[in-house]
Amino acid sequence: MSFGTIKLNDGNELPAIAFGTGSVWKDKEVTEFVEQAIESGYSHIDTAAVYHTEKDVGNAIKESGLDRQSLYITSKYDGGDIPSAIRDSLDNLGLKQLDLYLIHTPFFVPNQDFESAWKEFEKIKEDGLARSIGVSNFTVENLQKIVKTAKILPAVNQIQFHPYNLPQYKETLEYCAKHGIVIEAYSSLAPITRFPGGPVDAPVAKAAQRLGATPTQVLLAWVRAKGAVIVTTSSKKEHLEEYLAVADLGDYFPSQKPITRTKPRRE
């Protein structure tokens, strides 16, 4: 079974799992690992200007020999003049168009003028430089400033998302659902990698034993059950395959309702 795609509020579709080139990869040579991810079955590659991995992603795209439509490429704006920033990213990637372009964090918005920055992003979409536009690490307050005047709503909000910060993001999740904004989740394995020994360890281990899965797969299945796109990474092919196999394991959490995206609404 494939992870499939999620339909965005602009009508485009987003692959439901992505290989990320940030985090441990920042400022490192990642071409071979992106190639490995593509060979393993990942069609969605996530990068950003601040990661300094765009050129490596571009090299991997070229080396893959795949046609452009076979891959979904996300990059992110990390400050400076917005029109120049996306053109630099496109040049680094060797592409004419991104599938998704995000404002990486509210911090990078010039003068915290969210409305003006979003108008620049809308022009990026209108000019065909990105098929979809969105944000990352945005709070409800940040999103409200955009939605208030937006002609095109953000398609995505990429956030750090795992069981331990679910209460913290409850309001954000509800707001995004109301406006048809898809959640992308990164650092979802934090309960294993950063906070071992916490209260979710026991139920995760129990679910893994019952289902013949790994704790990693249980956590990713939890994210998937919440309706979020998974952004993950690894240097090891066996781990990449482990993540993809989550799609074959069914719904670990049938009693938990996923994030329900309604028809986009404005304030």
Half-sphere exposure of 157 (CA within 13 A, CB side): 29
Q: How far apart are CA 154 and CA 181, in angstroms?
A: 6
Query: In the numeric block, which tokens belong to residue 247?
Result: 């799609």
Catalytic positions: 51
pLDDT at 1: 56
pLDDT at 22: 94
Nearest to 14 by CA among 124, 132, 175: 132
Confidence of residue 117 (pLDDT cuts 50, 70, 90): very high
pLDDT at 249: 77
Q: Which residues are annotated as a binding site?
A: 104
Q: What is the mean pLDDT of residues 242-253?
A: 80
> Taking the domains of the chain in order of start, what are their residue ranges?
5-248
pLDDT at 255 over 50: no
pLDDT at 265 over 90: no
Burial class (CB in 10 A: 0-12, 13-18, 19+), 65: exposed
Number of neighbouring beta carbons within 10 Å of residue 148: 12
Q: pLDDT of 9-46, one tens digit each?
A: 999 999 999 999 998 999 999 999 999 999 999 999 99
DSSP string, the chain: ----EEE-TTS-EEESEEEE-SGGGTTS--HHHHHHHHHHT--EEE--GGGT-HHHHHHHHHHH---GGG-EEEEEE-SS-HHHHHHHHHHHHT-S-EEEEEE--GGGSGGG-HHHHHHHHHHHHHTTSEEEEEEES--HHHHHHHHTT-SS--SEEEEE--GGGHHHHHHHHHHHHHTTPEEEEESTTHHHHTSTTSTTHHHHHHHHHHHT--HHHHHHHHHHHTTPEEEE--S-HHHHHHHHGGGGS--S-TTSPPP---S----
Q: Model-level pTM?
A: 0.93
Q: What is the mean pLDDT of residues 213-222?
A: 97
Q: pLDDT of 45-64, one tens digit each?
A: 999 999 999 999 999 999 99
Confidence of residue 250 (pLDDT cuts 50, 70, 90): low
Confidence of residue 251 (pLDDT cuts 50, 70, 90): low
Confidence of residue 258 (pLDDT cuts 50, 70, 90): very low
Q: pLDDT of 152-172, one tens digit each?
A: 999 999 999 999 999 999 999
Q: pLDDT of 121-133, one tens digit each?
A: 999 999 999 999 9
Q: Which residues are annotated as a binding site for substrate?
A: 104
Domain 5-248 has CATH 3.40.50.11540: no
pLDDT at 253: 52
pLDDT at 257 over 80: no
Angle at 13 between CA 9 and CA 18, to 5 degrees: 115
pLDDT at 264 over 60: no
pLDDT at 259: 45
Indicate the average pLDDT of the chain.
93
Task: Tell me if 248 sits within 8 A of 242, measured CB to CB.
Answer: no
